A and B are shown apart, each in its own frame.
Chain A
């Protein structure tokens, strides 16, 4: 059994926070592919990884969200595919050692599957499998499939990872809007559908990330709790962005964010972290409320 699976057996796990907005704050130009900074500015990526580990995050996400070959092709970076995923894992590992788990991020392809779009399921699955092969080979402890809105794409990604490794723990989270009829992704996936199909495809932890802020996420978390006994991950944004002094800022400060998300632990959510707009300070504040389990030994991935 992997150390992450063992850790999953005891108490609430704190994830890390945002990467995209952290990189943007350090000068990543608007719209530039963040993954490129793993190659161009590894010291900045390492600094963020260390800051999250110092703040008490037990999972450190890699800068590989847009690293699938199909997604990179939209930036004409398909030739850097192997290096972006491999260095993405290595830079985080070098920065944090075995203090925390290296959580390899896999995001959507950015293309619509047929018949709505022109992406074929075989091509999508092949791309995710290629990405997973490099991430796992480079030493990832966990694969985190995140910000999915299409259930077919999410399950293709999970199956692709499983085709590469039966053992690697998989976290799979989708992004929901809360509607008068309950939470749905923009593609129309309900929480109960996600709760049924993501584990069936091979995910170990399922849940939600990004979305409309903490209050909406509490509703999403409750919908998951009603639908499944599989461990649940919840990673909200620090509110919805507002413009302030010519810049976009996420309104939820660390303490209010932590106070608002901490009750999720009491509800039975097993992994709590942050998405867009959250920072190491948000995770530190969360850690002050959610202590590590007492008899826990440090992870040895």
Chain B
């Protein structure tokens, strides 16, 4: 598990894949691989990126290595009938094409056992809400990189209320210009400064 965690942290997708296969072959459980190697690895990567000990390329490579491992354990999670932790709809808000951070959150949530409906970039309010209703999701996660598009998030929160879905759909937001005060002001249910805390906050929202 330690070697797998190290492989993910240094972004070695080939090693991550072969180590995961070896662990599965030796009888390790998918949940164990997730919780003891993959999630802790991404947690370290997230912290080191926050402190700028490492940079975006390192994070992207680590996410790719984690994805390589998840592809192998995904069928096992289904076979072991590990119950889905919940359904989350994700997207970058209207007018904004920046999806790197959102994609990381998507990988992390899948790793943590959520079913993710990823709508991509440039998503308007009704598309977020329609997708959540269709998929039976209780959480909408929104990302924005630009100060000119972050105000779109307020529109989604308002639209949820207009459609009478407040309480049934909870929102979590993140992105470079976002801070807790902004989340509070627009009435979002949670703010996550990075992909690791996004998983924690989604867990809190689903259970709370």
Contact = CB atoms under 8 A, between A and B. Distances in A.
Contacts of B151: 30, 248
B128 to A, nearest CB: 15
Interface string A169-196: 0000000010111001111100000000
The A contact surface, by secondary structure, is: loop
B76 interface: no
B150 interface: yes
Contacts of A248: 147-148, 150-151
Given A24-B148, A30-B149, A241-B177, A110 B97 contact: yes
B152 A30 contact: yes
B58 interface: yes
A184 B51 CA distance: 12
A30 B57 contact: no
B85 interface: no
Interface residues of A, number: 27
Interface in B32-64: 51-58, 60-61
Contact of B146 (A31, A112, A116, A177): A31
Contacts of B162: none
Nearest to A247: B151
Nearest to A177: B52
A21, A29, A31, A185: most-surrounded residue (chain B CB, <10 A):
A31
A188 B152 contact: no
A185 to B, nearest CB: 8
Interface string A106-138: 000010100010000000000000000000000
A276 interface: yes
A186 B56 contact: yes
Interface in A242-292: 243, 248, 276
A32 interface: yes
A31 B148 contact: yes
B52 A180 contact: yes
Interface in B136-161: 146-152
Report the contact-size class of chain B (Cβ under 8 Å from the partner).
20 to 34
Given A32-B95, A243-B182, A186 B55 contact: yes
B94 interface: yes
Given A110-B97, A116-B57, A243-B181, A31 B149 contact: yes
A149 B56 CA distance: 10
B96 interface: yes
B185 A243 contact: yes
A21, A181, A185, A188: most-surrounded residue (chain B CB, <10 A):
A188
B86 to A, nearest CB: 29
A184 B49 CA distance: 12
A200 B89 CA distance: 46
Given A31-B95, A31-B96, A181-B52, A20 B181 contact: no
Nearest to B149: A31
Interface of B: 51-58, 60-61, 93-98, 100, 122, 146-152, 177, 181-182, 185
Given A30-B146, A31-B149, A188-B57, 18 more contacts: A30-B94, A30-B151, A31-B95, A31-B122, A31-B146, A32-B95, A110-B98, A112-B60, A112-B100, A179-B51, A180-B51, A187-B55, A187-B57, A188-B58, A241-B147, A241-B177, A243-B181, A248-B148
7 contacts: A30-B148, A31-B96, A31-B148, A112-B100, A184-B55, A188-B57, A248-B151
Interface of A: 20-21, 24, 28-32, 74, 110, 112, 116, 149, 177, 179-181, 184-188, 240-241, 243, 248, 276
